[in-house]
Chains A and B, each alone.
Chain A
């Protein structure tokens, strides 16, 4: 069974631009969660989607948004990029909606904002 895939793997953007990251979950998984990892703040939960609905959200500004499609693939969008948005963005998929289900992580997308 294929693992969680994220595209693109690396991305360089300029301040003020917007970016869309994609995550394809493991086949059969209906929950996708997104995380931001930075050296300073560590790992922080962004949001979780289950069956195309956002069921949970972390403490991030509204510039961070996401969606999930009927095939469970998910996209994350960051608008008006800031230097502080430079990070590794991880997505994880799981069978069930609760985060207590085992999550399987993707390799991440490394976003650099200049």
Chain B
């Protein structure tokens, strides 16, 4: 089946630094990628939708200047948490949808646990 690779799986950083998370589709071209965030004991919440070659669409309440999303190619999207603070500590996970795919042909990365000290 289709594989989505997400890296790193775990990162610890100091407050004020930036962290980049990569999401790659390994064996298909992902026209659309989604970034989710999950706080402990809460739902996975959609942060933004990114389409290759265009600006990401952010969900209400998500700061676009803080969570920079780049989808420069059909196989790679990155999420950069800028000037991270302890409240940004969370589990981040991406998903990718292939060309011509529907709601049900979504493939997920394994997630990134971010801890900001």
Question: Is chain B found bound to chain A in the same assembly?
Answer: no
> Footprint of B on A, CB under 8 Å?
none
> Footprint of A on B, CB under 8 Å?
none
